[in-house]
Amino acid sequence: MRKLLKIRQVVNQGRSGTLPPVSDVRTRFAPSPTGFLHIGGARTALFNWAFARRHGGRLVLRLEDTDRERSTREAEEAVLEGMRWLDLDWDEGPHRQSERGERHAEAVETLLATGRAYRCTCTREELEERKQATIAAGGKWTYDGRCRDAGHGPDCGPHTVRLRLAPDARLAWDDLVFGPSGQEAREIGDAIIRRSDGAPLYHLAVVVDDLDMGISHVIRGADHHSNTPLQLAIYAALDATPPQFAHVPLILGDGGKKLSKRMDAVSVQHYRSAGYLDDAMRNWLVRLGWSHGDREIFSGPEIAALFELANVSRSSAQADPDKLAWLNQHYLKQMPRPELLAELTPFLEQALGHAVEPSDGLADLVDLLRERARTLAEMAEQATFVAVQNLPYDEKAAAKHLKPAARPLLEALHTALAEVDPWTPEAIEPVFETVRARHDVGMGKLAQPVRVALTGRAASPGIYETLAVLPQATALARIAEAIHFIKHGG
């Protein structure tokens, strides 16, 4: 218990207050390892990370893995993987709640020894019965205190342990986001802190863990706002100074409803595999409930430099996938080429179904595509033509542009293009000009058939660039194929 007393109180501050420049800020992220990192959890982690970094503090990672069923090693790893992907580096841990049973048990024993808690032999059935009775009588139910002064000893048979609350205690705190908050103890009642099977309850466990880990700021989802009074009571019973609390609003799904696993994309790995960038994801998440004036774009380091709890909203936010897509393209546009190439390759290989050799053409193409794709998956889709063996034609595109009228144009181009040297957009352009002038057609009539011949589709980057991205021989071969296609049909 000594250890618990060491906790230092960080200067109390309201929403408008400021923190001392250097502090002992210690935040924590405490997810339960469910097999994926939920975007709500990811944002909570991000806020904790940002707050710690902003104030030169430390972030502690703690896995709340008491649900042994779901808490497999793989489930844990998935959560950590999500954190790493988002560059949310932690300074301590991961600690595991399951490994701290002894500390939880000790705390309960201390509480029992000091009379701050007592044993309760009421059974679930009895409790339920009395609860229904008082509700039927129009009353509000909290534990009626039957065992409060019964003085049950350790050998009283099956029992739970309850916290003895002073009925007139006002369990109040100044929430860093919600402001002054609190509840009367009598509205809570004597809560169970240890189950009859000896396992500690969540509220006891978090308090002991946060105390032991020296957490100065508990930043967590608003769903815990109304759990705080009880936890405050536990801190008090332990004679410990509670940390500061900041509750962040929940993230809602489409239509303002709670995020549902089947209706919404709730895990960060979903977005990752859909081709979203970590920078975009972080930026999107941080702007859900937090703002910094009119600014929209924030890099990781900028978040770490600018984040303040005072600018966190109190109302829940609806996740908007369109905004994420926009952010993603923004980051796609400014990502250094080698990096982008590396990120794209796995997506491209997946789209093609075979390995891809790096080439200058592909590298050039990536620069052309960053203006046209919102995700890596989209970009890969648009890039397949450079690396594909047998180019398939989009049916509608072929029907519209690979018509007999295009044949003489393609033939003229094929001949002229064979002479182009060097094979660059600049050298290719004049060829189109001459062919266009000679056949007296508009650019559209000329470019579209070529585009379909080269890419199989009606949309691609500029035609000269698209040509130059392919080896000259390949480009010529595809034009020849298109001519053949027009002659003989599919």
Partner RNA sequence: GGCGCGUUCGUCUAGGGGUCUAGGACGCCGGCCUCUCACGCCGGUAACACGGGUUCGAAUCCCGUACGCGCUACCA
C-beta of 313: minimal distance to RNA in Å? 4
Site for RNA in 146-175 (CB under 7 A): 158, 160
| Catalytic option among 3, 6, 257, 261 | 261
318 touches RNA by CB under 7 A: yes
Binding mask 269-298 for RNA (x = CB under 7 A): ------------------xxxxx-xx-x--
262 touches RNA by CB under 7 A: no
Identity at 429, one-letter amino acid code: E
CA dihedral (341, 342, 343, 348) positive or negative: positive
Nearer to RNA, 422 or 442 (CB): 442
C-beta of 370: minimal distance to RNA in Å? 9
Q: How far is CA 354 from the centre of its chain?
A: 30
**How far apart are alpha carbons 201 and 204 in whole angstroms?**
6
263 touches RNA by CB under 7 A: no
CA dihedral (418, 420, 421, 427) positive or negative: negative
Nearer to RNA, 24 or 169 (CB): 169
Stretch in the footprint of RNA (CB under 7 A) among 124-132, 235-243, 385-393, 470-478: 124-132
Nearer to RNA, 116 or 203 (CB): 203
Nearer to RNA, 24 or 253 (CB): 253
444 touches RNA by CB under 7 A: yes
Q: Which of 9, 72, 313, 434 binds RNA (CB under 7 A)?
A: 313
Contact 33, 27 (CB under 8 A): no
Number of Cβ within 10 Å of residue 263's Cβ equals 12
Q: Which of 13, 183, 241, 472 binds RNA (CB under 7 A)?
A: 183
Site for RNA in 93-112 (CB under 7 A): 97
Stretch in the footprint of RNA (CB under 7 A) among 41-49, 51-59, 189-197, 351-359: 189-197
328 touches RNA by CB under 7 A: no
C-beta of 317: minimal distance to RNA in Å? 3
Site for RNA in 372-391 (CB under 7 A): 372
Site for RNA in 49-68 (CB under 7 A): 64, 66-67
Sheet holding 58-63, edge to edge: 92-96, 58-63, 26-29, 217-221, 244-248
Q: Single out the residue of 202, 192, 1 nearest to residue 103, CA to CA.
A: 1
Nearer to RNA, 155 or 357 (CB): 155
Binding mask 197-216 for RNA (x = CB under 7 A): x-x-xxx-x-----------
Q: Which of 192, 237, 265, 280 binds RNA (CB under 7 A)?
A: 192
Q: Which of 77, 187, 239, 360 binds RNA (CB under 7 A)?
A: 187
Size of the site for RNA (CB under 7 A): 80
**Bond from prior residue into 422 cis (ω within 30 degrees of 0):** yes
CB burial of residue 325 (10 Å; 0-12, 13-18, 19+): middle
Question: For residue 432, what are the contacts with CB-CB under 8 A and spacing of at least 6?
Answer: 413, 443, 446, 447, 463, 464
447 touches RNA by CB under 7 A: yes
Q: Single out the residue of 289, 401, 235, 239 nearest to residue 42, CA to CA.
A: 289
C-beta of 456: minimal distance to RNA in Å? 12
C-beta of 454: minimal distance to RNA in Å? 11
Question: Would residue 261 show up in a list of annotated catalytic residues for this protein?
Answer: yes
Stretch in the footprint of RNA (CB under 7 A) among 2-10, 74-82, 83-91, 310-318: 310-318
Nearer to RNA, 149 or 322 (CB): 322
C-beta of 444: minimal distance to RNA in Å? 4
C-beta of 66: minimal distance to RNA in Å? 5
Nearer to RNA, 261 or 354 (CB): 261
Nearer to RNA, 55 or 401 (CB): 401
Instruction: For residue 198, list its beta bridge partners.
Output: none
**How far apart are alpha carbons 359 and 342 in whole angstroms?**
12
Contact 349, 54 (CB under 8 A): no
Catalytic positions are 261
